[in-house]
Amino acid sequence: MKSGQKRDVRMKKKLAVQFGGARLLTSRLARTLAPPKIAKHATTKKKLSCCPNDGGTIVRNFHITDYDGVVALWRCTEGVGLNESDTRRAIAAYLRRNPRMSFVAERDGRIIGAVLCGHDGRRGYLHHLAVSKRHRQRGLGRQLADACLAKLRQAGIQRCNIFIFANNAAGMKFWAHIGWKLRTELRLMQIRLEDDCCSKRDCPC
Ligand SMILES: CC(C)(COP(=O)(O)OP(=O)(O)OC[C@H]1O[C@@H](n2cnc3c(N)ncnc32)[C@H](O)[C@@H]1OP(=O)(O)O)[C@@H](O)C(=O)NCCC(=O)NCCS
C-alpha cells in the first residue's frame, strides 16, 4: 500500500461527530438521491459541466487551507450567520472530526462555493451551504449538497438535517426544490454551555 493510501486509511479511522442547531429541514431518504459526481480528493479534481463550455469549476474536499477563501464567501452570503464555531480553530476541529465530508467549489483558484457536513452517528447535518452570487443557478449548490449526502450515505446515516433562518425564504425554496421537507411539527431548542457563546453574532446554530 502506498503512503498516500495509508494516510487515507488512517483518516477514515478518525470518523466522529458534530452538529449544531433554527428551523429544521430533513432530506428524503438517501436512496432517493442521485449519486453525485465529485472529486474524492483535492489531488483528483473532477471538472463540472455546470454551465456551457465551463470546464473550470471543480468540487473537492474542504481543507483547512481553504479557510480564508471560504470565510470570505460566507461573510458576503445572505442567509449565512457566523459565530464562535466558525473560527479557524473551530473549523479545523470540525474537519478533523468529520474527515472528507465537507466540500468546496473552486474556480480559477477562488472559492465560489462551500458546505460543511458532519454527523453524530444518527443524523447528518449540513451547515453554511453557499454559492457566490455570480455562479448560482448552475447546479453547484445541488452538487455540493449531494456530495455531502453521498458521504453520509457511505457512513450509514439515513437522514440529514439543516438549520435555516426562518426568514430565508429563498434558501427554503432551494432546499424544497431539491427534495428536502420542512418539518413544521418541530422547533429548535438550545442551551448555551459557555457564557460568551453567540453573544454578539448571529447564527442559526
Ligand atoms: C441556496 C444556494 C446555495 C443555491 O445555490 P445554486 O448553485 O444557485 O443552486 P443550484 O443551481 O444547484 O440549484 C439547484 C436547483 O434548485 C433551483 N434553485 C436554486 N435556488 C433556488 C431558489 N432560491 N428558489 C427555488 N429554486 C432554486 C435551481 O433552479 C435548480 O433547479 P433545477 O435543478 O430544476 O434546474 C445559493 O442560492 C446560496 O448560496 N444562497 C445563499 C445562502 C443560503 O441561503 N444557503 C442556505 C443556508 S441553509
State if residue 171 touches ligand 1 by the CB under 6 angstroms criterion.
yes
Mean pLDDT confidence for 6-19: 40
Please give the DSSP secondary-structure letter assigned to residue 158.
Answer: -
Atom of ligand 1 nearest to the CA of 140: 7
Task: Say which CATH topology domain 17-182 has.
Answer: Aminopeptidase (3.40.630)
Global confidence as pTM: 0.80
* Domain spans, the chain: 17-182
pLDDT tens by residue, 42-89 = 333 444 544 433 679 999 999 999 999 999 999 999 999 999 999 999
pLDDT tens by residue, 124-137 = 999 999 999 999 99
Q: Does residue 37 carry a pLDDT above 50?
A: no
Residue among 22, 113, 96 at smallest CA distance from 60: 113
State if residue 141 touches ligand 1 by the CB under 6 angstroms criterion.
yes
Confidence label for 194 from pLDDT (cuts 50, 70 and 90) = confident
The protein residue with its alpha carbon nearest to ligand 1, atom 9, reads: 141
Report the C-alpha gap between 174 and 151 in whole angstroms: 21
